[in-house]
Amino acid sequence: MAEVWIEQRERSNPLALRMICGFAQLMPRRLTRLWLWPITLYFFLFAPKARAASRAYLRRIPGKSASWREVFAHLHSFASVILDRVYFLTDRFDKFNVTIEGAELLHTALAEKQGAILLGAHVGSFEAMRCLAIRHAHLPLKIMMYHDHNAMITRVLDELNPQVARSVINLAQPNALLQAKEAIDRGEFIGMLGDRVLPDEKSVSVSLLGGKVDLPIGPASLSAMLGVPVFVFFGIYTGANRYRVTIQLLHAGQQVPRKERDTFVANTMQEYASRIETVLLQYPDNWFNFYDFWGDET
């Protein structure tokens, strides 16, 4: 069985995180990025589970040997994206070259005052999409997430942008689904990540990079129940200061009869996994699930 992601502990402290955030705000990005080398080295040497997860994942990518250089580069890419969250949260978009593909899909839904689900994954930068949506597209966006997981880094980053922090619907709250429905009824968008399953959460088995994994049924079930469209998005880090945000239609939003929902959910989540795979084959260093995702270690 794959390792449970929520059991992973944070490997930092608030002082170190605030120092890095402070350097990012005061110093040029090219200088702040020099910190990424010792940070990456630390995780490469002292985070054996993350290192093993990276190696297991990279072996699934054609042409990758999962050498120490490739694992280090993978971890460095993750560190880069985490650092860039500081810049996105503080509206320093001028630091980046961001291309956006598929924004017209969101503009159409927004013009029609139609709520929708934005379904992402732990692939690339969720922050790039979230901040661009809130600050530049004026998209009414709520984020469904477990706010207390990685609470330390979440708290530090929330301090940088309280507006973004207020957009979160905490999945740990008993009325989280009701809040989501009310937001969609108002024509707002619900953003969520669909590639991690909690213990006892309902899931469906799909194929991803040559193996079977479980994904939560929640995003597809919510779409089927409410009859709202689902857009898949990725904020792909392509190196240096470049990001590529892609938005694709996954489901047009027709309400699904109850007797057909199991099939719909299975097909939708498999298509979602296929979209993830397409991105990873092109940008393999953008996979940021650093735990035993496929159960390779068991």
Q: How confident is the model at residue 33 (pLDDT cuts 50, 70, 90)?
A: very high
Task: Please check the confidence at residue 101 and state whether its pLDDT lies above 60.
Answer: yes
Q: Would you say residue 295 lies in a domain?
A: no
- Between the alpha carbon of residue 153 and those of residues 16, 49, 148, 149, 172, the distances in Å are 10, 19, 10, 9, 18
- pLDDT one-digit tens code per residue, 103-148: 889 888 888 888 999 999 999 998 887 666 666 557 788 888 776 6
- Evaluate whether residue 244 is within a structural domain: yes
Range of the domain at 210: 5-286
Give the Cα separation of 294 and 279 in Å (integer): 18
- Please give the pLDDT value at position 10: 45
**292 assigned to some structural domain:** no
The Cα 77–Cα 287 span in angstroms is: 9
Position with higher pLDDT, 185 vs 277: 277
Q: Is residue 236 part of a domain?
A: yes
Give the mean model confidence (pLDDT) for residues 223-252. Answer: 94
Percent of the chain with pLDDT over 90: 53
Asked if the model's pLDDT at residue 292 lies above 80, the reply is yes
| Tens digits of residue pLDDT in 235-249 | 999 999 999 999 999
Neighbours of 19 (CB within 10 A): 12
pLDDT at position 2 over 80: no
As for how many domains the chain has, the answer is: 1
| 183-205 tens-digit pLDDT | 999 988 998 999 999 878 899 99
The reported pLDDT for the residue numbered 261 is 95
Query: Is 108 within the bounds of a domain?
Result: yes
189 lies in a domain?
A: yes
pLDDT band for 1, please (50, 70, 90 cuts).
very low
Q: Is residue 297 part of a domain?
A: no
**HSE, side-chain direction, 13 A CA sphere, residue 50:** 22
| Predicted structure pTM score | 0.90
**Residue 237 confidence (pLDDT):** 97
Type and span of the H or E element at 191: strand 189-193
Burial (CB count within 10 angstroms: exposed 0-12, middle 13-18, buried 19+), residue 173: exposed
Mean pLDDT score, 238-265: 93
- 156-170 tens-digit pLDDT: 556 666 666 777 888
In a domain, 38, yes or no: yes
**150 falls in which pLDDT band (50, 70, 90)?**
low
Q: Which of 3-7, 33-37, 173-177, 213-217 has the lowest mean pLDDT?
A: 3-7
